[in-house]
Chains A and B, each alone.
Chain A
Amino acid sequence: MKNKPRKKHTAPNTDKKRILITGNEAIGEAAVRAGCGFYAGYPITPQNELTAYMARRMSQERKIFIQAESEIAAINMVFGASSAGARSMTTSSSPGISLKQEGISYLAGAQLPAVIANVMRGGPGLGNIAPSQSDYFQATKGGGHGDYHLIALAPASVQECFDLTQLAFDLSDRYRNPAIILLDAFLGQMAEPIKITHQDTKTQGRKVKKEWALTGAAGRSPNVIRSFFLKDPGLEEHNLILQKKYERIKSKERRFEAFDIEDSDIIFVSYGIPFRIARQAAQRLRSEGIRAGLFRPVTLWPYPYQELEKACARKKAVFVFELSYGQMLEDVKLALGKDIPIYFYGRGGGGVFTEGELIRFAKTKIKSKP
């Protein structure tokens, strides 16, 4: 049969306690269940499964799916759908996310909610399609032009791909700010059993009243979606409003996970899949008598500086493990200053370290310490 779809993407049977699903698909299913009304995407590996998943599931739900002509068009379609009040999403991988930066800056400037997922691959340039975390700076320190921040969430499991996508929609609506889900290709591609939560999709999108949306000026004065403020001091005032909002997010939305902090001598700091590798390494080190604790930021922006500082107080050393050449490392340094030795081990260009590599690295540094 020629027209038979190659793969079925029907709504997962949620009667079952747990379902087996990939990270990419979990993000898609979470979006559908969060009441996402609009999705636009463009083909790029390693997130193609997500776009294909949305093509099927969004039409099943009678929601809008568009395969856009470019990443730029996709993010601007999201801009439009969001300005009309719909929960909206686009997803891509590193080079595609670079193309979306213009639109992301406009979303932030116009205070429009939107959810973006970046299934990170190796860079710079076309790079490769292997797992990487080298878009940390782009996601947390800007990316596009202007003084703005995205809410950046970093899942470390397929379950969290699901949970944090739903959280991303909620936070994005609440703060009228785009949110990005940052995961590496590993997590996007791998399957794990997860529990589907947030069943009540019908109410999700309606929790926040969007009085600013473009719905036709019936019975109210016209709404305008804008990020252009030419007359002095309009733009500075607008920026101060944004900065105030970012401070609010910073004080309220820092999320993290910490294990075995109390009795540990050293702390491993990591996020995403590297965190899982670091966890294995820490467990093995414990069995050898080296007491390692674990700290994992769940929100990369706002970064949990205070919590990391507290977790690392009076520890002998801190180790940062990343699939980059030290991007989150800068935030760890900001949190901890120079009082405590910080050792970094990372690999880029699609290279992934093993727990053995981390153990050897940690042991060398502990031994060489005066």
Chain B
Amino acid sequence: MKKKYTLPRSLKNVPTHYCGGCGHGIVHRIVAEVVDELKLREKIVAIAPVGCAVVAYDYWDFDCSESAHGRALAVATGIKRVRPDLIVFTYQGDGDLASIGTAETIHAANRGENLTCIFINNAVYGMTGGQMAPTTLVGQKTTTTPWGRSPEKGDGFPLKITEILAGLPGVAYAERTSVAKAQDVLKTKKAIKTAFINQIENKGFSIVEVLSQCPTIWGMTPNQAVKWVKEEMTKTFPLGRIK
């Protein structure tokens, strides 16, 4: 009998530090599978963000760099420009990509940098204990919006940065997916693969926004968390191809 489900070559055989039910592990595995399938392991460079995924290099078995909070796409730009033969991607959370790093994100996309950007949106700052993120839903309670995010009070609205980026001519591809159910996991893999193939084919900037569950910070069980992604998050952040 043939073994169908094996550890990807690009994923180290170690336990991760992610909480039970967290979406990061799923996306890490998807990235590793895609890297293997496209035979990129020996020419890929990952840029880890500041956030829960900062030690992604402990799990991926290929070259990685850290970056300062929000600066992943500037670091990626530097690498890709001097080594266009490498395949370079960033893996960033919502605070990193859409708050402190908004300028780096928009300008890398606007220059049409030939990069792949994987954007994990879980609507909170996870690593720092659950503050309001730029993508926090209206009404969602966080440590810094104890009564729920309120645009009337000046907390602002959930920032749909992928839609903003899709409006830029330098962006080749923008899609929002989730990892809250099996079909969506497969769609996420397809989208991430497309984003890497785009870079191989020099098409410019590709972004895949993945809605991801954070049961610990949301104060939910893993089951409640995937339900919340499916029923609540997707209302504000509809799934599908944006560009």
Q: Write the residues of chain A forming the contact surface with B, with a CB cutoff of 8 angstroms.
A: 37-38, 40, 64, 66, 68-70, 72-74, 76-86, 88, 102-103, 106, 110, 214-219, 222-228, 230
Contacts and interface: CB of A to CB of B under 8 A. Distances in A.
Interface stretch (B38-46, B157-165, B173-181, B183-191): B38-46
Contacts of A103: 68, 71
20 contacts: A66-B77, A68-B74, A69-B104, A73-B74, A76-B104, A79-B74, A79-B78, A80-B74, A80-B76, A80-B78, A85-B82, A88-B78, A103-B71, A214-B83, A216-B44, A216-B63, A217-B61, A222-B63, A223-B63, A227-B66
A217 B42 contact: yes
A76 B78 CA distance: 8
Given A84-B78, A225-B64, A227-B66, 4 more contacts: A80-B65, A110-B65, A222-B62, A228-B54
A216 B78 contact: no
Q: Which 3 A-B residue pairings sit nearest by Cβ, starting from the closest?
A: A80-B78, A76-B74, A81-B78
A45 to B, nearest CB: 22
B31 to A, nearest CB: 14
Given A103-B71, A214-B63, A224-B64, A69 B107 contact: yes
Interface string B26-53: 0000000000000001111101000000
B239 interface: no
B57 A226 contact: yes
B55 A228 contact: yes
B81 to A, nearest CB: 5
Given A217-B61, A228-B54, A37 B78 contact: no
A77 B103 contact: no
Contacts of A225: 64-66
B27 to A, nearest CB: 19
Contact of A86 (B41, B82, B107): B82
B79 interface: yes
Interface centre among A80, A86, A228, A230 (most CB of B within 10 A): A80
Contacts of A72: 71, 74, 103-104
Contacts of B79: 80-81, 83-84, 214
Interface centre among B65, B71, B75, B78 (most CB of A within 10 A): B78
B86 interface: yes
A222 B64 contact: yes
A64 B42 CA distance: 24
Nearest to B64: A224
Contact of A215 (B76, B86, B107): B86
A103 B81 CA distance: 18
A73 B82 contact: no
Contacts of B67: 76, 79-80, 106
B134 to A, nearest CB: 18
B66 A226 contact: yes
A106 B47 CA distance: 14
B81 A69 contact: no
B81 A64 contact: yes
A277 B47 CA distance: 48
A219 B83 CA distance: 18
Given A76-B68, A83-B65, A102-B68, A216 B86 contact: yes
A86 B57 CA distance: 22
